[in-house]
Chains A and B, each alone.
Chain A
Amino acid sequence: MKLSLFLAIKTIIRGDKGSLILTVLIMLVVFLNLLFVDAIFAGITETMDKGKINYQYGEVIIEPKMGDRYIKNTNQIIDTMKDFYYVKNITARITTGAVLINDKNNDGRDVVKFRTGIIGIDPEEDNDVVDIKSNIIEGRYLEKNDRGKIMIGADAAGGYGSSVFAEDLEGVRSGDNLTVEFENDIIREFEIVGIYRTKNFETDSKMIMMRNDFNSVFSTTNESSEIIMRLTDKNLSQKAISDLQKLGFGEYELADWSDKLSFGRTINESFDKIGLILRVIGSFVSGLVIFIIIFVDIVNRRKQIGILKAIGISEKSIMYSYIFRGMFYTIIGMTLGYLIMRFGVVNLFTKHPIDFPMGWMIPKIKIESLRMSILLFILAGLIGSFLPTIKEVRKKILTLMR
């Protein structure tokens, strides 16, 4: 082993610098490319997860069971849970469906209707849990004493860039009046005070109104449609759910943010599959590069292998020296690729996130993916350097020396 390492090191140090740099560069680019694509996928997944947590469900959400309309003992749940060490903030929301009507010219001729969900909130309490306030793109956030005021998502308002929905209100603005036809057939007019865009399309297609206004329409008091909890650590969500069950709130639907990733989960699964395919292809390419480099090198050094064998150096020692070289190219390429990714690409995109439809995306290096990529690359490097070497070192001495 010591001799193999010695031969490998000397050949690398005193060998052709140009081909050394080129080989490492190829390995670097292949690995960097793999890390980048993986990091983009992980970044998209995280952006979607964050969107769900920050703008819609928090870490834990309590909802009525299927068939029930409201959570009846809202205040009791909030009072009980807010004292738990892992609960940062908690709020109740009340929701319903409605048709938003935009009478463009206020003459009843050019009327646009948009069916969507409506959320009734206490703005101060809600702001501690769901981050709409920092995503206001026009106007302002709802205030404690507002009455007859609403905020509307950019996808519902229309005219604020691309949207996943085919329909919207075709361009309502902050300050415009909007007619809302509730499910109980009550129709009221509201003033839009703010337009928000979180890039979570389910939130951005909704309308948010004051809880008091909602209560006056539906004659509700202590009821809510969902209680959203923010935790100190999202990994404590299952503990929170278990505590809720122990406290006798199992009569409600208790879910954590990951349970709500129906669409996101499908995407995550697809990304995982694509990531795996790319890792395998990337590793194959890197293995092939090593194979070609070692093969070309070994063919040019056939005579030298014959000499080494002739003077009594074992086949194993010769083979290991080439495998060490293959591993050197692989490991240096991977290390440089990782460093460029971690301190170059990720830092760059942290300062300048990519504008994705579902949010501002920062590439993220996932440890599990990194570990698997490293493992596959090392395996590919081993196979790529082993195959051409074993074939040559097993040849007869005189054949090699000819």
Chain B
Amino acid sequence: MKEYILKSKDLVKTYKAESQSPVFALRGVNAEFKKGEFVALMGRSGSGKSTFLHQLALLDRPTSGQVKINNTDVAKLSENERAKFRLQVLGYVFQDYALIPELSLYENIALPMMALGFSRKKYDADVQEIIKRVGLNGRKNNLPSELSGGEQQRVSIARAIVNKPEILFADEPTANLDSEAASVVLEVMRELVDKYNQTIIMVTHEPDDKKYVDRVIWLKDGVISEER
């Protein structure tokens, strides 16, 4: 039986505009994620799926409730500790690839390793191997502007996994891609789960994406409405 790597307990997130009553984006969400599991968070716009991902991924702080990653209560971490945690334990793939335009494909992927203080000697083999793994061999010196959307998203995945994160968070990674490029990206993610036991939590509203994931959590009005 697989162990739980990530848990949320009574997670609440409210947004409050001045002199207005608070708007609940999450209304006490409880969820658990196992190691090596590929989970999709789905729901209509405004359902709270992205907000939920942001709380789990340490990109935002919940109003109340708990997020535990490997039994660490991440809400108690300082900003600096959260930055280190994001760098060492988590990986991110964003909808619009979020690559640094002035860095080559290789440099974009190597960025987290550099931030961890590794020398090129130490990370070069890993980066080369990951470039191969995402199918971009021979293009390591290309700038993001010289790559297609699908290729850029694969670079983004490569960057997210280069430091071997415990959990990979993906926020609508295929939203900007055509169906062919989206399939390639999702296949790469599926392969990470199958071959390398990678945990992936992905926000999507593409019904077709369901076939690549192990489990779907549906959110509605800030609460989990269904899990399959």
Minimum CB–CB distance from B173 to chain A (whole Å) comes to 14
Whether B84 sits at the interface, judged by CB under 8 Å, is yes
Q: Which residues of A contact B160 (CB under 8 A)?
A: 311
Rounded to whole Å, the gap between the CB of A5 and the closest CB of chain B is 10
List 16 A-B pairs, Cβ < 8 Å: A2-B117, A13-B102, A14-B102, A14-B143, A15-B102, A307-B100, A310-B94, A311-B87, A311-B111, A312-B86, A312-B87, A312-B90, A313-B83, A314-B115, A315-B83, A401-B94
Known: A14-B102, A311-B159. 17 other contacts (CB 8 A): A3-B114, A10-B100, A10-B107, A11-B102, A14-B101, A15-B102, A304-B100, A308-B100, A310-B98, A312-B84, A312-B112, A313-B87, A314-B83, A315-B79, A317-B115, A396-B60, A397-B60
Residues of A contacting B220 with CB < 8 Å?
none
Q: In whole Å, how far is A180's beta carbon from the nearest beta carbon of chain B?
A: 81
A-B residue pairs, 8 tightest by C-beta: A312-B87, A312-B86, A14-B102, A307-B98, A10-B102, A3-B114, A397-B59, A11-B102
Instruction: Tell me if A309 counts as interface (CB < 8 A to partner B).
Output: yes
A13, A15, A310, A317: which contacts B92 (Cβ < 8 A)? Answer: A310
Most-contacted residue by chain B among A10, A13, A15 (CB, 10 A): A10
Tell me the complex Cα distance, A315–B84, Å. Answer: 11
User: Does B86 contact A3, Cβ atoms closer than 8 Å?
Assistant: no
On chain A, the residues within 8 Å of B159 by CB distance are: 311
Q: Which residue of B lies closest to A6 (CB)?
A: B114
The answer on a CB contact under 8 Å between A10 and B115 is no
How would residues 83 to 125 of chain B score, 1 for a CB under 8 Å from any chain A CB and 0 otherwise?
1111110111010001011110001000110110100000000
Query: Shortest distance in angstroms between A400's beta carbon and chain B's nearest beta carbon?
Result: 10
A309 CB → nearest B CB, Å: 7
Chain B CB within 8 A of A398 CB: yes
Taking CB atoms, residues of chain B closer than 8 Å to A2 are 114, 117
Sort chain B's interface into a size bin.
Answer: 20 to 34
Identify A307's interface contact among B54, B91, B94, CB under 8 A.
B94
Query: Within 8 Å of chain A (Cβ to Cβ): is B80?
Result: yes
Task: Tell me the residues in window 146-190 of chain B with beta carbons closer than 8 Å to chain A beta carbons.
Answer: 159-160
Closest to B107 in A: A10
Q: B80, A314: Cβ atoms under 8 Å?
A: yes
Q: Contacts of A7 on B, CB cut-off 8 Å?
A: 100
Q: Which of B98, B102, B115 contacts A3 (CB 8 A)?
A: B115
In the complex, chain B residues whose CB is within 8 Å of the CB of A397 = 59-60
Q: Are B59 and A311 in contact (CB under 8 A)?
A: no
A15, B160: Cα distance in complex, Å: 24
Q: Smallest distance from the beta carbon of B125 to chain A beta carbons, Å?
A: 19
Complex interface: chain A residues within 8 A of B92 (CB): 310-311
51-101 of chain B: CB within 8 A of chain A: 54, 59-60, 79-80, 83-88, 90-92, 94, 98, 100-101
Query: In whole angstroms, what is the CA distance A317 to B98 when docked?
Result: 18
Nearest CB of chain B from residue A350's CB, rounded to whole Å: 43
Complex CA–CA separation, A6 to B107 (angstroms)? 10
Q: Which residues of A contact B88 (CB under 8 A)?
A: 312
Q: Which A residues between 279 and 316 are near B, CB-CB below 8 angstroms?
A: 303-304, 307-315
A2 to B80 CA separation, bound complex (whole angstroms): 18
Q: How far is the CA of A14 from the CA of B94 in the complex (A)?
A: 23
Within 8 A of B (CB), among A374-402: 396-398, 401
Distance between B165 CB and nearest chain A CB, rounded to angstroms: 10
Q: By CB atoms of chain A within 10 A, which of B90, B103, B115, B159 has the most?
A: B115
Tell me if B102 and A311 are in contact (CB < 8 A). no
**Closest Cβ of chain B: how far from A392's Cβ, in Å?**
15
A398–B98 CA distance with the chains assembled, in angstroms: 13
**Binary interface profile of A, 304-337, with partner B (CB < 8 Å = 1, else 0)?**
1001111111110100000000000000000000
**How many whole Å from A16's CB to the nearest CB in chain B?**
10
Chain B residues within an 8 Å CB radius of A6: 114
Contact A313 B100 (CB under 8 A): no
Q: Which residue of A lies closest to B119 (CB)?
A: A2
Determine the residue in chain A with the shortest Cβ distance to B116. A312
Mark each residue of chain A from 1 to 32: 1 if its CB lies under 8 Å from any CB of chain B, else 0: 01100110011011100000000000000000
Please indicate the chain A residues that have their CB under 8 angstroms from the CB of B54 in the complex: 398
Residues of chain A within 8 A of B143, CB atoms compared: 14
Task: Say yes or no: B59 contacts A398, CB within 8 Å.
Answer: yes
Q: Name the B residues within 8 Å of A303 (CB-CB).
A: 98
CA distance A315 to B88 in the complex (A): 16
CA of A161 to CA of B183, assembled, Å: 89
CB distance from B88 to the nearest CB of A (A): 7
Instruction: Determine which residue in A2, A3, A11, A311 has the highest number of CB atoms from chain B within 10 A of its CB, and name it.
Output: A311
Minimum distance in angstroms from A355 CB to a CB of chain B: 52
